[in-house]
């Protein structure tokens, strides 16, 4: 017996759908507070030393956190090749802007304190703001477009044609999702600063985070209401074969309002996902106002888990719907790599993902504690 036959094709596809969600949530829960801290930097730090404290709260960990983005991109490339091809070609300019913004982060960290000039340092502070704001906004805009459907189609020879434009991605619902992403990550970054700093920086972070938490709740509720009322979801009306060939053109799909809520009707326990998103944001607000330290970070991660997982649960089995050729929509069942490829990748993941989690946990354990001005100002320290 071939080892890959121990797990059937349909189950492997479902496992990799779950793993993709885990990687994306892992990126938002870890690197998300790095992006949030970058957006808060010019506002919670009022002096050079305060801004250095803010930067050094994430300085030792941001590179490791960004590994989750690389893992997510790699998983899409290897497990869902058509998804990778469509998204990375259709969203090319958006991806370029994200990468350009992310490049500003390491450059900003390394070069900010190289010159004793307030104009120089202020410029890099705003570069770090851009490095947090642009990815947070565009990631949310991308999710908003995916929920509405993306203008692509497959030819009979499986050639991909994208018929949208960059400006077309900036539609009202997508921008609403982008603002939700920004507020969610600002809330999370505030919770991190509340944990890692003391005094005025922590107080300001709690104030900004409280506002961001309320905005997250309002924007999430608004996005859900619009999704229910105005945004057409998609539904497969032809027979579904979880172990069938990876050819999206073999199915029949219809668009209808409310389709993105059908999974909750069929399986009410799935309502846990949006409930966590709704509960997590106000819980973070209360935790920030109560002067708690680690609790706001945990409730912020709860909100992130609920908000992101609710998107995946609502869309299942779709992973990238097409708005111009419904049958070209990509689903969990018809856009994956081969059975053997998914199995080999699963074995590798089972071996290495726990190592990554264990190492990350160890790093946070070693670097636990608050960052203060005395440590940052010490010429013998390795601070930025």
Residue range 34-76, pLDDT digits in tens? 999 999 999 999 899 999 999 999 988 888 888 888 888 888 8
Average pLDDT value for residue range 337-352:
91
- What DSSP string runs through 97-150? HHHHHHHHHHHHHHHGGGS--HHHHHHHHHHHHHHHHHHHHHHHHHHHHHHH-B
DSSP summary character for residue 91:
T
Query: Could you give the angle at the alpha carbon of 235 between the alpha carbons of 230 and 239, nearest 5°?
Result: 170
172-194 pLDDT, tens digit each: 999 999 999 999 999 999 999 99
Contact 131, 302 (CB under 8 A): no
Contact 364, 41 (CB under 8 A): no
CA distance 191 to 185: 10
Residue 276 pLDDT > 60: yes
CA distance 178 to 183: 9
- SS3 readout for 227-243: HHHCCEEEEECCCCCCC
Q: Where do the domains of the chain lie?
A: 9-377
- What DSSP string runs through 176-198? HHHHHHHHHHHHHHHHHHHHH--
The confidence score (pLDDT) of residue 87 equals 86
The confidence score (pLDDT) of residue 275 equals 96
Cα first-last separation, the chain: 56
- Which secondary structure element, helix H or strand E, spans residue 312, and what is its range? helix 294-315
Give the up-direction half-sphere exposure of residue 122: CA atoms within 13 A in the CB hemisphere: 6
Residue 379: Cβ-neighbour burial (10 angstroms; 0-12, 13-18, 19+): exposed
Residue 325 pLDDT > 70: yes
**Adjacent-strand bridge partners of 161:** 153
Per-chain mean pLDDT for the chain: 91
- Say how many residues make up the chain: 384
Give the closest residue to 61 by CA, choosing from 285, 369, 293, 292.
369
83-129 pLDDT, tens digit each: 988 888 888 888 899 999 999 998 998 888 888 888 999 999 999 99
Peptide bond connecting 317 to the previous residue in cis, omega within 30 degrees of 0: yes
How many C-beta atoms surround the C-beta of residue 104 within 10 A?
A: 19
């Amino acid at each position: 017996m071939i080892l890959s036959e121990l797990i059937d094709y349909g189950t492997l596809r479902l496992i990799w759908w779950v793993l993709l969600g885990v990687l994306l949530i892992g990126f938002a829960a870890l690197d998300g507070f790095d992006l949030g801290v970058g957006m808060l930097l010019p506002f919670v730090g009022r002096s050079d030393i305060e801004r250095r404290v803010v930067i050094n709260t994430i300085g030792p960990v941001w590179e490791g956190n960004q590994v989750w983005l690389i893992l997510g991109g790699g998983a899409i490339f290897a497990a869902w090749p058509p998804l990778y091809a469509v998204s990375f070609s259709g969203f090319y300019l958006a991806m370029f802007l994200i990468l350009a913004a992310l490049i500003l982060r390491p450059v900003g960290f390394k070069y900010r304190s190289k010159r004793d000039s307030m104009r120089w340092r202020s410029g890099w502070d705003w570069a770090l703001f851009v490095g947090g704001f642009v990815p947070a906004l565009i990631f949310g805009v991308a999710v908003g477009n995916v929920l509405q459907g993306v203008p692509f189609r497959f030819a009979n020879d499986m050639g991909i044609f994208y018929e949208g434009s960059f400006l077309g991605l900036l539609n009202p619902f997508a921008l609403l999702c982008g603002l939700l992403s920004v507020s969610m990550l600002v809330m999370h970054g505030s919770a991190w600063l509340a944990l890692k700093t003391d005094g005025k920086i922590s107080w300001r972070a709690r104030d900004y985070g409280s506002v961001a938490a309320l905005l997250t709740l309002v924007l999430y509720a608004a996005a859900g209401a619009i999704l229910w009322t105005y945004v057409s979801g998609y539904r497969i009306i032809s027979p579904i074969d979880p172990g069938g060939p990876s050819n999206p053109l073999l199915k029949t799909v219809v668009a209808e309002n409310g389709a993105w809520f059908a999974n909750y009707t069929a399986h009410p326990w799935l309502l846990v996902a949006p409930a966590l998103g709704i509960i997590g944001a106000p819980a973070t607000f209360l935790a920030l106002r109560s002067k708690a330290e680690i609790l706001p970070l945990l409730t912020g991660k709860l909100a992130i888990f609920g908000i992101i997982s609710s998107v995946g649960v609502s869309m299942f089995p779709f992973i990238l719907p097409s708005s111009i050729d419904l049958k070209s929509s990509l689903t969990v069942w018809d856009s994956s790599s081969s059975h053997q490829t998914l199995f080999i990748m699963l074995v590798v993941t089972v071996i290495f993902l726990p190592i990554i989690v264990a190492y990350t946990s160890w790093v946070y354990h070693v670097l636990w504690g608050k960052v203060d001005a005395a440590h940052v100002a010490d010429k013998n320290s390795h601070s930025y």
